């Protein structure tokens, strides 16, 4: 297992995402004895986070609850502003959401009144792409995620795993250069979660879209990632960056059977346990 530190991030010409000295603060709201809510002091959630993500890389963010993983993901997506530092995607400063950086959320986020086809087409409908072209592109990605034949179903008629496949297909519709995934499999049962991990890895290996993936699961991070960024407890900083020993074995067999899996998991668990307060 190879371990690097924050200072050894790999800035090269193939860098897709450059995160430089990011600081994010939120104002804490507290309740008075009368039950009113008042604004309190500023709380630092992310503290000088610097990281480079390579083009085509699958990188996971792993850390204690409240360490700022999702906050960092949303800043990269342009959904939140930062207080200090800067983020660049494909060399461009992130100042607002961009169409070629798409998010997949844990709660699926499907529109219940739209069919599977309608949900998947929705991003291109917003882009005013003509109906025929939308349908052709949607058919392609529904095939990729294994949902051909379910185009006319509504979200409530699908299992949780199938709903998340719809969410993934929808995120791919704009052919993003960057896919930001916030615990996308966290709400699923263990068996479905493992199956979706394997299926999504096959999709990623075909498309080679750059992925930043937030998870609370050490096993999941090891199985899906090229590198794992382990963060400290709040305020979130980078504790260690770990090269997954399973990266080369993801395409064949069960990477969990790799002897390095147990030692890598124990190492990461130790890092996280040291952050308990």
The per-residue pLDDT for range 38-95, each reduced to its tens digit, is: 667 889 999 999 999 999 999 999 999 889 999 999 999 999 999 999 999 999 999 9
Which CATH number do you get for residue 58? 3.40.50.300
Whether residue 18 is contained in a domain is answered as yes
User: Percent of the chain having pLDDT more than 90?
Assistant: 65
Structural domains counted in the chain = 1
- Average pLDDT of the segment spanning 197-216: 91
pLDDT given at position 27:
83
pLDDT given at position 227:
95
Whether residue 153 is contained in a domain is answered as no
Whether residue 144 is contained in a domain is answered as no
pLDDT given at position 252:
62
User: Percent of the chain having pLDDT more than 70?
Assistant: 90
- Average pLDDT of the segment spanning 138-153: 94
pLDDT given at position 12:
45
- Average pLDDT of the segment spanning 214-242: 94
Distant-in-sequence, close-in-space partners of 58: CB < 8 Å, separation ≥ 6: 204, 210, 211, 213, 224, 225, 226
pLDDT given at position 233:
93
Does residue 235 have a cis peptide bond before it, meaning omega lies within 30 degrees of 0? Answer: yes
pLDDT given at position 10:
39
Whether residue 200 is contained in a domain is answered as yes
- Average pLDDT of the segment spanning 29-35: 64
Mean pLDDT, rounded, of the chain? 87
Domain span holding position 198: 2-28+39-100+176-273
Whether residue 138 is contained in a domain is answered as no
Distant-in-sequence, close-in-space partners of 105: CB < 8 Å, separation ≥ 6: 167, 182, 184
pLDDT given at position 186:
84
Whether residue 58 is contained in a domain is answered as yes
pLDDT given at position 198:
86
pLDDT value at 253 more than 90: no
- Average pLDDT of the segment spanning 153-179: 93
- Average pLDDT of the segment spanning 228-245: 94
Instruction: Pick 157 or 188 by higher pLDDT.
Output: 157
- Residue 261 pLDDT level (bands cut at 50, 70, 90): confident
CA 86 vs CA 22, 89, 176, 223: distances in Å: 6, 10, 21, 30
- For the ranges 3-17, 210-224, 225-239, which has the lowest average pLDDT? 3-17
What is the arrangement of strands in the sheet containing 238-243, beginning at the earlier edge strand?
2-4, 238-243, 227-231, 58-62, 210-215, 178-182, 101-104
């Amino acid at each position: 297992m190879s371990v690097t530190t924050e200072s050894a991030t790999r800035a090269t010409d193939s860098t897709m995402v450059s995160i430089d000295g990011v600081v994010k603060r939120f104002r804490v709201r507290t309740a008075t004895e009368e039950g009113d809510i008042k604004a309190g002091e500023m709380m630092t959630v992310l503290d000088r986070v610097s990281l480079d993500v390579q083009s085509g890389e699958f990188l996971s963010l792993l850390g204690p609850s409240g360490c700022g993983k999702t906050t960092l993901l949303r800043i990269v997506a342009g959904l939140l502003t930062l207080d200090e530092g800067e983020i660049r995607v494909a060399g461009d400063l992130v100042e607002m959401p961009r169409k070629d950086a798409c998010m997949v959320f844990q709660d699926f986020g499907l529109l219940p009144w739209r069919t599977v086809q309608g949900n998947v087409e929705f991003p291109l409908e917003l882009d005013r792409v003509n109906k025929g072209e939308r349908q052709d592109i949607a058919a392609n990605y529904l095939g990729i995620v294994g949902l051909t034949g379910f185009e006319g179903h509504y979200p409530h008629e699908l299992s949780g795993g199938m709903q998340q496949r719809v969410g993934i297909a929808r995120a791919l519709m704009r052919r993003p250069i960057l896919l930001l995934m916030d615990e996308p499999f966290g709400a699923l049962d263990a068996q479905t979660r493992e199956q979706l991990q394997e299926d999504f890895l096959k999709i990623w290996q075909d498309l080679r879209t750059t992925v930043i993936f937030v998870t609370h699961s050490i096993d999941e991070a090891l199985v899906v990632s090229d590198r794992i960024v382990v963060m400290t407890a709040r305020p979130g900083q980078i504790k260690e960056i770990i090269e997954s020993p399973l990266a080369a074995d993801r395409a064949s067999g069960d990477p969990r059977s790799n002897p390095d899996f147990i030692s890598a998991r124990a190492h990461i668990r130790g890092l996280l346990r040291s952050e308990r307060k």
